Amino acid sequence: MRADRFLRACRREAVDATPIWLMRQAGRYLEGFQALRKTHSFLELVHTPELAVEISLEPVRRFDLDAAIVFADILLPLEPMGLTLHFEAEGGPRIENPVRDEEDAGRLRPVDPRDGLGDVLETLRILRQELGGRVPLIGFAAAPFTLLSYAVEGETRRDAPSLKALMWGRPALFEALMRRMSEVTVAYLRSQVEAGAQALQLFDSWVGALSPLDYGRHVLPHTQAVIRGLRGTGVPVIHFAPLTTSYLDLVLETGADVLSVDWRADLTSVRREARGRAAVQGNLDPLLLKEGNPAQIREEARRILERAGPDAGHIFNLGHGVLPGTPPAHVGILVDAVHTFSALEGRPRR
């Protein structure tokens, strides 16, 4: 059943136990990754399929996770567009030549994913084969607003001040850039499905910087366009939109199959609002996974399962990515707790 729990839950079908995978499950907190990082830069790892495959497989070999996610980065599509990325040990990613005006925008190159992002597609192809159907494979990309936020800010700025200033001050340029990011994202994600991805997650990590009016007017139409553009692939789309529970009704209009929420959300309310429209993914506080003791992690897992309720269509995950420094053993404890509690509580979920 491990082979199809996750995809069944995405489609809101009954499962024998609640499926679980974790954002950033492949990477920073695991020893295998840390060993590779000593001899390779982050970008080398991402661009070397045999290494990226190993990193992606490490967590699904070690833990009873219900899905694998390809090891890659949401910023990769910016490289073939002509932006120069650096991943520094401290302070996160930096872009050498961020987009500031029409001239910068005009210099952005069109992207053929098979060309500019071929390494990631190759990683997906190998991974799908290596997984041999044991668990499904998730591909991913940033949603247009978050991708553009990095392109414009040049670094992680979760309030996206320069991008919002651009959105208000130069709406035509903003629109053109959002369309460009959307096109690249659709092409990239479609290629990921062709390469073997069986589900897709769209990370709109910084969209919570927006008010409901701005979200509805300036961002929602583009996210809708991306998800419409993926309809033909037949794979479920998960939309991660932290800090947007105050305008969940709008976010549900994206048309995503699964809505992934942060740890501030109460799953009972979110599931009520999403009923009949989307499955829900989430939402343990990643800091609790790092800092909590085993009893606290198990208790919080149980509570989240209770808040999610017995209806089909819940995928367990964190409210954000696994934090560096999280003890790997904690991941094992969480995965087992979710499977045990959810199976005990009279699953299969209806």
Give the helix/strand (H/E) hosting 6: helix 5-10
Q: Contacting a copy of itself (CB under 8 A), which of 293, 327, 329, 344?
A: 293
Q: Round to whole Å and give the CA distance between 241 and 259.
A: 7
3-state secondary structure of 128: helix
Nearer to a copy of itself, 299 or 311 (CB): 299
Instruction: Tell me how long the chain is.
Output: 350
Question: Smallest distance, Å, CB 161 to a copy of itself?
Answer: 6
3-state helix, strand and coil shares in percent for the chain, rounded to the nearest 5:
55, 10, 35
With CA atoms as reference, report the closest residue to 279 among 248, 256, 251, 254: 256
Applying the rule CB under 8 A, the residues between 230 and 249 that interact with a copy of itself are: 243-247
1 is an interface residue for a copy of itself by CB under 8 A: no
11 is an interface residue for a copy of itself by CB under 8 A: no
- Give catalytic status of residue 150 as yes or no: yes
35 is an interface residue for a copy of itself by CB under 8 A: no
Q: Round to whole Å and give the CA distance between 257 and 239.
A: 8
What Cα–Cα distance (Å) separates residue 69 from each residue in 12, 197, 217, 280, 344?
20, 9, 32, 18, 27
321 is an interface residue for a copy of itself by CB under 8 A: no
Q: Which of 5, 8, 12, 24 is catalytic?
A: 24
For 94-170, where are the alpha helices, taking DSSP H only? 102-107, 113-116, 118-131, 144-153, 161-169
- Give catalytic status of residue 215 as yes or no: no
Stretch that binds a copy of itself, among 31-39, 87-95, 192-200, 295-303 (CB under 8 A): 295-303
Please calculate the CA angle 156-162-166 and round it to the nearest 5 degrees: 140
Q: Which of 2, 16, 37, 62 is catalytic?
A: 37
DSSP 318: B
The answer to whether the beta carbons of residues 212 and 250 sit under 8 Å apart is yes
Q: Which of 2, 28, 62, 158 is catalytic?
A: 28
292 is an interface residue for a copy of itself by CB under 8 A: yes
What Cα–Cα distance (Å) separates residue 152 from each residue in 81, 161, 187, 321?
13, 10, 21, 23
Strands 137-142 and 314-315: unpaired
313 is an interface residue for a copy of itself by CB under 8 A: no
Q: Which of 4, 66, 73, 257 is catalytic?
A: 73
300 is an interface residue for a copy of itself by CB under 8 A: yes
Nearer to a copy of itself, 1 or 213 (CB): 213
165 is an interface residue for a copy of itself by CB under 8 A: yes
159 is an interface residue for a copy of itself by CB under 8 A: yes
91 is an interface residue for a copy of itself by CB under 8 A: no
- Give catalytic status of residue 28 as yes or no: yes
214 is an interface residue for a copy of itself by CB under 8 A: yes
Q: Report the 10 Å Cβ neighbour count for 51.
A: 18
294 is an interface residue for a copy of itself by CB under 8 A: no
Q: Round to whole Å and give the CA distance between 62 and 29.
A: 13
324 is an interface residue for a copy of itself by CB under 8 A: no
Q: One symbol per residue from 251 to 270: x for binding a copy of itself (CB under 8 A), - otherwise; what is it?
A: ------------xxxx--xx
DSSP 216: I
Stretch that binds a copy of itself, among 93-101, 130-138, 163-171, 335-343 (CB under 8 A): 163-171
User: Which residues contact a copy of itself (rule: CB under 8 A)?
Assistant: 159, 161, 164-165, 168-169, 208, 210-214, 243-247, 263-266, 269-270, 283, 285, 287-288, 291-293, 296, 300, 303, 319
Catalytic positions: 24, 28, 37, 73, 150
